[in-house]
Structure 1
Amino acid sequence: MGIGIGLPAVHPDPDMSIVDWARRAEERGFAALGTTDRLVYDTYEPLTALATAAGATSRIRLITTILLAPLRANHALFAKSTATFDRLSGGRLVLGLAPGTREDDYSASGVDFRRRGKLFDALLEQATQQWQGQGGIGPHPATAGGPPLLFGGFTKPALRRMTTYGRGWIGGAQGVDNFRAFLPRVRQAWQDAGKAGAPRLVATAHFSLGPDAEQRLHSRLANYYTSGTYTRESIEAGLSTPEEVAREVAAYAEAGCDELIFFPHGGGLEQVDLLADAVGL
């Protein structure tokens, strides 16, 4: 199972260098750098943050887990931007996509929250065609056919998008039990669609390590998850000791996860080394 680490992009410390973080993560052997996505919150824009990290690294993959795709209302521009990113990063971009559940992000964008599913489908159709060279809009992505797509969500439309356009599924940071419980539906949908092989399974988790880690983690998660279906589960699933991290890695590996990405909450650059030590890198 691959282990990734998120960028310090949620309520970011202005003195924290994403360049230093990305370089250290690559040096310590992490497989990927991840970002989350909110609009109405103090977060870095995901593709911009990952592009900064891409310029400072050469090997580590760059994954959005997840990007709120329907907010990118200019679908041709989205396809061009992500193809450019993929080309300039040497084919390291992986796009984890979902519509999101917070209406305030859509209200602030002037995008109809009730139409987000239809907008998402239209974006996927435009982007995949454009990445394949249709419509005369370049550049061609480094990855043939476009960056690999993963889809988040626990709904039938999420599974439909996964089997139509995707390489796999991303589970939210609500703990391994939630992840494990949905896997039969993911695998059955993949099989029913006649897809070859098996879907790639990616999971996410929240962590903070070192002095005062539990207090720091709980405070930040409680602020971030002010509402939503999985608010309590997400807060309770946060990891604040090396032992908890190690147990989580073992549990996800046993469940069949292909890659687990840990998102930091507070602390400094030492969090990269503390997590690397906890997972055995």
Structure 2
Amino acid sequence: MDVGVGLPSTIPDATGSQVVEWARRADELGFSTLGVLDRLVYGNYDPLVALAAAAAVTKRIKLATTILIAPYRADVAVLAKQVASIDKLSGGRLVLGMSAGGREDDFEATGTEFGRRGRALDAMVERMRAIWAGEHDGLDRPIGPTPQSGPRLAFGGHSKYAVRRAGRWGWGWVASGSSPAGLDRLLEFARETWAEQGVTTEPRKLAIHYYALGDDAEAHAGRFLQDYYSYLGPQFAGKIAGGALKTEAEVAGTIERYAAAGCDELILIPCNPDPEQVDLLAKVRGAA
């Protein structure tokens, strides 16, 4: 199983220099992927902008939205161009993970329809794929640039619709908000769904899990995750914060359990923006 790491671009007090240095270290230390989360109505960096910054200081690591909430981005042509630009600038390293999203305020802020977000996502994927293939619907020329790798698509979510998207279009499926035991059950459901579709090659199976290491791990995990998930209420947000990995033993054991559950790649999302967290995680990964 590959092990990736998230950028700290979702943490509100992360500085630009921390995000860039984090990307550089993750690339040098052999992590498989840099992942980013997405929210609009929050104090985070835009995920595509963050990955563009990371592309400039990295050479080999995959750059992945895990995930991008595409349907609140109403202009599909602009999004297709942004995605293709990052993919080409990075030498084909982009993985575009998308989902329908679940926070109504993100859609309210952009004037897009929350209730039709799943159907909107399906239509967006079809349109972006056509744009990337060079179709231009009577325009003088195609919307460029031509992406270098496609790009590779992944889809997040646990509903049957989300899993079917991964089976239809996906290079990968992102099982977020789970656990090693939960992933085992989700994979059984996903495989049943893909079999119904006639999928013969399973999408790559990715999972994300939060972590913080060091003496102040508990404080960082609690502060970030209880704020980020405050819309779910203090009890549920506290449960998520409590599930973050906060010791080297927890990280090593969780890596082993995700691998045993059938995960192809685990991306560990930080709660502390200090780039030293990358070095601490690399040390544990090397020993796991």
* Letter of the 2:269 counterpart: F
Is 2:35–2:267's contact at 8 Å kept on the other side of the alignment? yes
CA 1:9–1:226 in 2, change beyond 3 Å: closer, same or farther?
same
Find the counterpart in structure 2 of residue 104 from structure 1. Answer: 105
Task: Kindly indicate whether residue 151 of structure 2 is the aligned counterpart of residue 147 of structure 1.
Answer: yes
The 5-angstrom pairing of residues 102-251 of structure 1 reads 102-135=103-136, 136-143=142-149, 146-228=150-232, 231=237, 234-251=240-257
Structure-1 separation of matches of 2:143 and 2:273? 43
Single out whichever of 237-246 and 171-180 deviates more from structure 2.
171-180
3-state DSSP of counterpart to 2:44: coil
Structure-2 separation of matches of 1:269 and 1:253? 26
Structure-2 separation of matches of 1:253 and 1:271? 22
Fraction of identical pairs, as percent: 45
Deviation at residue 105 of structure 1 after TM alignment: 1.0
Structure-2 separation of matches of 1:15 and 1:260? 25
TM-superposition CA deviations, 1:119-165 (whole Å, max 9, x none): 1111111011111222222221101xx21111111112112211221
3-state DSSP of counterpart to 1:173: coil
Tell me the TM-score normalised to structure 1 length.
Answer: 0.94
Find the counterpart in structure 2 of residue 86 from structure 1. Answer: 87
Structure-2 separation of matches of 1:214 and 1:239? 9
* Letter of the 1:74 counterpart: D
Deviation at residue 265 of structure 1 after TM alignment: 0.8
Single out whichever of 155-164 and 119-128 deviates more from structure 2.
155-164
Find the counterpart in structure 2 of residue 12 from structure 1. Answer: 13
Structure-2 separation of matches of 1:165 and 1:114? 22
3-state DSSP of counterpart to 1:280: helix
Deviation at residue 249 of structure 1 after TM alignment: 0.1
Deviation at residue 196 of structure 1 after TM alignment: 3.0
* Letter of the 2:9 counterpart: A
Is 1:172–1:179's contact at 8 Å kept on the other side of the alignment? no
Structure 1: stretches of 5+ with no match in the other structure: none
Structure-1 separation of matches of 2:55 and 2:97? 17
Find the counterpart in structure 2 of residue 55 from structure 1. Answer: 56
Is 1:175–1:234's contact at 8 Å kept on the other side of the alignment? no
